[in-house]
Chains A and B, each alone.
Chain A
Amino acid sequence: MTTDDKLYTGAQMVMESFLREGVDTIFGLPGGANLPLYDVLENGGVGIRPVPEGVVPKEYPIRHYLVKHEQCAAHAADAYARVTGKAGVCYGTSGPGATNLVTGIANAFMDSVPLVCVTGQVISALIGRDGFQEADIQGITIPITKHNELVRNVNEIPRAMQEAFYIATTGRPGPVLVDIPRDVLQHTGKFYWQDKVQLRGYKPYTNGVDRDEVAKAAELIEQAERPIILSGHGVIISHAFAEVRELAEKANIPVITTLLGISGFPGTHPLYLGMPGMHGMYWNNIAISEADLLIGVGMRFDDRVTGRLKDFAPKAKIIHLEIDPAEIGKNVKPDATLRGDAKASLRELNKHVSHKPRERWFSWLDEMRRKHPSIVIRETEEVLPQYVIQQIYEATKGDCYVVTGVGQHQMWAAQYFWYDRPNSFVTSGGLGTMGFEVPAAMGAQVAAPNDTVWSICGDGGFMMTLQELATIAEYRWPIKFAIVNNNVLGMVRQWQELFYKNNLVATPLKNPDFVKLAEAFGILGLRAEKKLDVKPVIETAMSHPGPVVIDFQVKYDENCYPMVPPGASLDETIDQPTYAFEPKRVSDERRKVAVR
């Protein structure tokens, strides 16, 4: 435990905690209740000077990025955390500032992202008395945080902050919210910092690999003729890139990555099969149904992956490598369980596996891929959204971060882009938050300032958070926004077409002129209306040093396939569309496929 005789205000204690935790970046928005936290930021949050030794600095060199809406502070911190692997930090004031964070917190919670949210609260005397801008944010966020705390005493701040970072980043990561009343931020006290966090009720199970289970798993792998690795977000969180690759190559097993597991395994690797599930590759869904062994690494057998659960992988035994005890046996019952950090478990498992040819399995998979290509770009006059994604891949060769929103464009970005950089795909998976694409691109760009960030946007999602273009213009982040603009809430329209008799209620969008809009923010706006425009526009965007917004006018009613209809099982995946409700567009056009 370290302490000294100096007195710190609550706000200075928060800063000291940040320095000890290695935090240098905050996304936030000030208000009445969290102003003390802003008063101690140096140079209005541009801070560069090192902290002098031996004195309590009045101001701290921590970089603060001012967002325009707190939701975006949370999303930006979320993406920052995903890209750096450190905890993301965001600020919000009391009341609406805090409630605006809620969507971002829930998003981080569903995707296991370490986030520390510090909110100002009304002064202690007003709590529970309907003070101006009061909201019980601790109560509100109980179901969507890993932990949260209302700090009522200034001396508790260092402990609360230390615990917040410890809880957020260890075990299965998640968001932690620390709510501090304004008067507590202004009170003074001594700064106590523990050498080791002591929490009786928290045991982040990390490296306790059970040797019997490892032996059982190795035996299952040895016996398997048709095994598949399902690589999830846990592989990325635990930086087990090399380990999962070693398992695949050493034991000769093909790899499927879940949506959040994308970029956990090289996208152009011969053993890589792509994504499974609702809009996964057709061959993957059939292969899972045919497999005799599934090795789930850091993934939770989510309903979008499994389809109808009772018919999921009927022939397969299951090995589950999972850090969260509550996930084990939740959706599927494993035959062998390796509890712990994916990297540690894989290292142990890799020692006990050996190479097997599995020729029949690979030739079956090749046959499936040949018969059902799944990812095809037709020759059309209109610009196809898949074509846009593919052209961005061609132009960047995958040497960039890709951030997406939620919907059709997200699925296409998962299907038509080959992620050859580890951890280069940032998307909202569990919660499926439209509007994630804009603020998350900010967080990714801050985390990787020397890399290119492409934000693949839906027009619907972009409209949800586009106010952040002002933030992007202010900080001159050179993000490339590719709006896959079909002038409709595409995925919802697809469901209306397929499952609601094409009753297109409340999905067509009357969008603004995105080029003029970008220009109004001082950002370069580009448009591609014809197929021929796509490539040059991407090239212009890439050669432009600043941020760019590109409006790709794509086909209005393109559907995202393959698709597992909701409630269906994986072996009922639709690879080719049937167009039951619009006979005039029967698949003649669609047969002219250009296979990659």
Chain B
Amino acid sequence: MNGPSAQMRSGFGKIRPHTIIALVEDRPGVLNRIASKWRQRGFNIESLAVGHSEKPGLSRMTFVVDADTNAEQVVRQLDKLIDVVHIRDVSHEDIVSRELAMVKVKADRETRSHIIDIAEVFKAEVVDVEPDSIIIEATGDENHIDSLVNLLRDYEIIELVRTGRVAMLRGPEVSHPHEEDDEQYERAPGIHTW
């Protein structure tokens, strides 16, 4: 997205990406509301992945945000949104994270086999082969994908697309536990005495 490059930001020390997962209502405008809160504070969304969750009518989002320690404040603000059912910053937790990338590389008779060799090392699949190009699909964490992409740069990458991180807690714990409703508390209107 926009904003200063990752290299520039890494110069500021404590700024580092946060991984946040959210369970949200599957409705128009939800993404707008969430993105709006990050924009207001000037935090850049590095990646964002959304899809249906195991619960009907709810989607699960994973987003990676370049934010300083104030991310906690924004997460609390996001939790207040009616459409956000549950949200959690899992940056400090034991998670499995993956992303998927497709890389379209220039390939001719000479280079094709080299590229396929590299793909195999990375357990990536060749999903399309044409006389002048090849598409490789890879899954893994960011470092894994970064390494593959770095090697493929030698062969002229035509196009690169990445889904962004999806993340999940290790072990049997659910990322978004069900919360019991508070008992309703009625404000008594109009009692205006000291």
Contact between chains at B73 and A330 (CB < 8 Å): yes
Q: Which residues of B contact A206 (CB under 8 A)?
A: 182, 184-185
Q: How many positions in chain B have a CB within 8 Å of any CB in the partner chain?
A: 33
Contact between chains at A142 and B29 (CB < 8 Å): yes
- Evaluate whether A239 and B82 lie within 8 angstroms (CB atoms) in the complex, with A142-B36, A204-B182 already known: no
- Evaluate whether A242 and B80 lie within 8 angstroms (CB atoms) in the complex, with A142-B32, A203-B182, A204-B182 already known: no
Is A300's beta carbon under 8 Å from chain B?
A: no
Interface-facing stretch out of B44-52, B164-172, B186-194: B186-194
Is B40's beta carbon under 8 Å from chain A?
A: yes
Contact between chains at A422 and B194 (CB < 8 Å): yes
Bound complex: CA of A85 vs CA of B186, how far in Å? 12
Contact between chains at A201 and B85 (CB < 8 Å): yes
Is B144's beta carbon under 8 Å from chain A?
A: no
- Evaluate whether A143 and B73 lie within 8 angstroms (CB atoms) in the complex, with A206-B182, A242-B193, A422-B192 already known: no
Contact of A200 among B73, B77, B85, B192 (CB under 8 A): B85
User: Mask for B34-67, Cβ within 8 A of A = 1, else 0?
Assistant: 0010001000000000000000001000000000
Is A279's beta carbon under 8 Å from chain B?
A: no
Q: Which residues of A contact B76 (CB under 8 A)?
A: 325-326
User: Mask for A348-364, Cβ within 8 A of B = 1, else 0?
Assistant: 00000000000000000
Closest to B80 in A: A326
Contact between chains at B82 and A167 (CB < 8 Å): yes
Bound complex: CA of A341 vs CA of B183, how far in Å? 12
Contact between chains at A239 and B192 (CB < 8 Å): yes
Q: Which residues of A contact B182 (CB under 8 A)?
A: 203-208
Q: Which residues of B contact A207 (CB under 8 A)?
A: 182-183, 185
Contact of A239 among B29, B32, B85, B191 (CB under 8 A): B191
Q: Which residues of B contact A330 (CB under 8 A)?
A: 73
Contact of A326 among B79, B85, B187 (CB under 8 A): B79
Within 8 A of B (CB), among A134-165: 138-139, 142-143, 146-147, 150, 163
Is A238's beta carbon under 8 Å from chain B?
A: yes
Closest to A204 in B: B182
Contact of A241 among B187, B189, B192 (CB under 8 A): B192
Contact between chains at B189 and A324 (CB < 8 Å): no
Contact between chains at A147 and B82 (CB < 8 Å): yes
Bound complex: CA of A266 vs CA of B24, how far in Å? 45
Closest to A163 in B: B82
Contact between chains at A138 and B25 (CB < 8 Å): no
Bound complex: CA of A147 vs CA of B192, how far in Å? 28
Closest to B181 in A: A203
Q: In the complex, how many angstroms separate the beta carbon of A25 from the nearest chain B beta carbon?
A: 14
Bound complex: CA of A206 vs CA of B76, how far in Å? 17
Bound complex: CA of A265 vs CA of B193, how far in Å? 10
- Evaluate whether A341 and B193 lie within 8 angstroms (CB atoms) in the complex, with A167-B82, A326-B73 already known: no
Within 8 A of B (CB), among A265-280: 265-266
Q: Which residues of A contact B118 (CB under 8 A)?
A: none
Closest to A197 in B: B184
Q: In the complex, how many angstroms separate the beta carbon of A142 from the nearest chain B beta carbon?
A: 5
Within 8 A of A (CB), among B70-111: 73, 76-77, 79-86
- Evaluate whether A325 and B82 lie within 8 angstroms (CB atoms) in the complex, with A239-B188, A242-B194, A341-B187 already known: no
Is A344's beta carbon under 8 Å from chain B?
A: yes
Is B33's beta carbon under 8 Å from chain A?
A: yes
Q: In the complex, how many angstroms separate the beta carbon of A414 from the nearest chain B beta carbon?
A: 19
User: Mask for A182-215, Cβ within 8 A of B = 1, else 0?
Assistant: 0000000000000000011111111110000000
Q: In the complex, how many angstroms separate the beta carbon of A54 from the nearest chain B beta carbon?
A: 29
Q: Which residues of A contact B25 (CB under 8 A)?
A: 200-201
Contact between chains at A203 and B82 (CB < 8 Å): no
Q: Which residues of A contact B77 (CB under 8 A)?
A: 326
Closest to A172 in B: B80
Q: In the complex, how many angstroms separate the beta carbon of B30 from the nearest chain A beta carbon?
A: 10
Q: In the complex, how many angstroms separate the beta carbon of B154 from the nearest chain A beta carbon?
A: 45
Contact of B40 among A143, A146, A169, A201 (CB under 8 A): A143
Q: In the complex, how many angstroms separate the beta carbon of A166 from the nearest chain B beta carbon?
A: 10
Contact of B82 among A202, A238, A245, A340 (CB under 8 A): A202
Q: In the complex, how many angstroms separate the beta carbon of A80 from the nearest chain B beta carbon?
A: 13
- Evaluate whether A201 and B29 lie within 8 angstroms (CB atoms) in the complex, with A239-B187, A344-B185 already known: no
- Evaluate whether A142 and B82 lie within 8 angstroms (CB atoms) in the complex, with A203-B179, A238-B187, A242-B193 already known: no
Q: In the complex, how many angstroms separate the beta carbon of B25 from the nearest chain A beta carbon?
A: 6
Q: In the complex, how many angstroms separate the beta carbon of B56 from the nearest chain A beta carbon?
A: 11
User: Mask for A258-270, Cβ within 8 A of B = 1, else 0?
Assistant: 0000000110000
Bound complex: CA of A242 vs CA of B85, how far in Å? 35
Is A502's beta carbon under 8 Å from chain B?
A: no
Bound complex: CA of A150 vs CA of B82, how far in Å? 14
Most buried by A among B58, B183, B188, B194: B194
Bound complex: CA of A142 vs CA of B35, how far in Å? 11
Q: In the complex, how many angstroms separate the beta carbon of A240 from the nearest chain B beta carbon?
A: 10
Q: In the complex, how many angstroms separate the beta carbon of A310 from the nearest chain B beta carbon?
A: 15
Q: Which residues of A contact B184 (CB under 8 A)?
A: 206
Closest to B27 in A: A149
Contact between chains at B192 and A423 (CB < 8 Å): yes
Contact between chains at A201 and B190 (CB < 8 Å): no
Is A503's beta carbon under 8 Å from chain B?
A: no
Q: Which residues of B contact A325 (CB under 8 A)?
A: 76, 79-80
Bound complex: CA of A205 vs CA of B183, how far in Å? 9
Contact between chains at B85 and A143 (CB < 8 Å): no
15 more A-B residue pairs beyond the given contacts A340-B185, A421-B192, with a C-beta to C-beta distance below 8 A:
A138-B29, A201-B85, A203-B182, A204-B182, A206-B182, A207-B182, A239-B189, A241-B192, A245-B194, A266-B194, A326-B76, A326-B79, A341-B187, A422-B193, A423-B192
B residues with CB within 8 A of A: 24-25, 29, 32-33, 36, 40, 58, 73, 76-77, 79-86, 179, 181-185, 187-194
Provide 7 A-B residue pairs closer than 8 Å at the C-beta atoms, listed in order of the A residue.
Answer: A139-B32, A143-B36, A147-B81, A207-B183, A239-B188, A242-B194, A341-B185
5 smallest beta-carbon distances between A and B, as pairs: A206-B185, A326-B76, A201-B85, A207-B185, A85-B189
A residues with CB within 8 A of B: 84-86, 138-139, 142-143, 146-147, 150, 163, 167, 169, 199-208, 237-239, 241-242, 245, 265-266, 324-326, 330, 340-341, 343-344, 421-423
